Structure 1
């Protein structure tokens, strides 16, 4: 029987998360933790969930 292991996750309580929309040929939704290098994700704005959909 295999054990159910989960990798530990470090949670930073004082992170600073920001969201932005970059306009261009394809509008992009950007979500970033500005307190860390390379901690961001992007998706086409059309594919991003609206705030009511996240609830």
Structure 2
């Protein structure tokens, strides 16, 4: 089996990642998104997200 690898033309350095709490009135979600790319986001219920001290 031969690997099918393509070298990157140039490193991407313009990623913009942001986090936000989305509240639609009934459910609060923690959203992390790379706003420099289409459809590059993940979300979870805010109650299930780790707090900042838990990440340290």
TM-score, normalised to structure 1's length?
0.72
Corresponding residue pairs, total = 46
In terms of Rg, which structure is larger?
A: 2
Please report the RMSD computed on the Cα atoms of aligned residues, expressed in angstroms. 1.8
Give the unaligned 5+ runs of structure 2. 1-7
My pick for the range that moved more, 39-48 or 18-27, is 18-27
Question: Quick one: distance in 2 between partners of 1:52 and 1:34?
Answer: 25
TM-score, normalised to structure 2's length?
0.71
Give the unaligned 5+ runs of structure 1. 1-9
- The equivalent of 2:19 in structure 1 is 19
After the TM superposition, which segments of 4 or more aligned residues of structure 1 sit over 4 Å from their partners?
none
